[in-house]
Structure 1
Amino acid sequence: MLTFDRLFAEHVATGLARQLALGDLIGERGWQLDLTSGTVTFGDDLRYHVQLLGTESHDDGSWLWAWANEASDLPPALLHLCGWLREFGDRQGVAELTEPTFAPRRADGHRLALLASGLTGRCYYRGPYPGGAVFFHLDDAPPQITAPVRPERVLGVLSMDVGDASGILKG
C-alpha cells in the first residue's frame, strides 16, 4: 500500500516543473473561472478547459474534494479528473485521495494538486476567493507546459522547497 507522502515524493518534481512553466505563461494576468463552459480565462488572451479538484476553506480550515461537493451542484463533466484520482486512491489505499474532506495539515490543496499533476501530466491553478480557494487542472494547456524540463531549470526545480512552490502562481 502506498502512502500519500511516498506518492507525493515520487511526483512533486514533475508537478513543480509544470507550475513554473504555467507561471511563465500566465504571468500577472487575472483569472476568471466559468463553470458553465468549463473554462478558465487568464487575462484577455488565454483560455483553457478545466477539471475541478477541490476547495480549501479558510473559515473551517478544511479541504473538500470536488466530487464530494454536493451543495455546489457542479457539472459532472468537470469532475472526471477528481473522480479518477478517487478511484486511484481506492486502488492504492491512499486515504487523502478518497476521503471527501479533511484538515489541510494532512495534505493541503497545493500538495494534492501537485501530486495530481505528477500523476496526470497536467498543471493546476489555485484560484483564491473570499474565504478560500478553488484548485483545478488545465485540461488543454499548451505543449510548453507539459514538455520536458529544460536542463537549465532542472536544478532549480529539484532544489525548490514545496513551501516556495505554493507561491509560484500568485493565485
Structure 2
Amino acid sequence: MVFTLFFCQVALETVITVVTEKFFGFSVRENTLVYMFGAVEALVSFMGIALLGGRVRDTTLQIFGWSLMITALIWLLVVMPDFEEGNLVHLVYFLLGLFVLFLGIPIISMATVSFSTKILSSETQGMGEGIRRVLICLGVILGSNWAGATIQDPHVFLGVVVAMLIING
C-alpha cells in the first residue's frame, strides 16, 4: 500500500504545476500558494490524527483515507480531461480534487505506519521498516516518472493510479 500511496502522491504533486500553468495561467507565486495550502492542510490532518489516533482504529483510518483518495482521484479522472484554458470553474474542480486528495494522504499514511508496527513482531520491525522505506522510495521515483510520461493523457495517468489504489485497497 505504501508504494501506491507515495506513487499517487508524487504523481499528483508533479502535475500540479504543469496543469495550473497550462490551463489557468498560474505563475510561480500562485503555484507556491497551492503547495503551501496543501502543506498546511497536511499539517492540520496530521494534528487531527494525533488527537484521534488513540480513539479510532488503524483500519478505520486506512479505510477513511483510502476512500478520500479514491473519491478525489475519480473526481479528477472525470473532470481533468475536459479542462479548458482560462476556465475558472475547472480551476475550482481541480483544487477541490487536490484538497480531498491531500486530506486523505496523511490519514492513510499515518494509519499504515501505526498498523505495520502492530502486525509485525518486535524482531522483524526493523526489517519491515526497511522494506517499507524501499517501497516508499520506489513509489516516489516511479510516480514522478509516470506523471511526466502520461500528463498528456489524463485518462491513462489517473486511470492507472485509480486501478492501483483499488487493487491495493
| TM-score between both structures, scaled by the size of structure 2 | 0.26
| Greater fraction helix | 2
| Greater fraction strand | 1
RCO comparison, higher one (Cα < 8 Å, 6+): 2
| TM-score between both structures, scaled by the size of structure 1 | 0.26
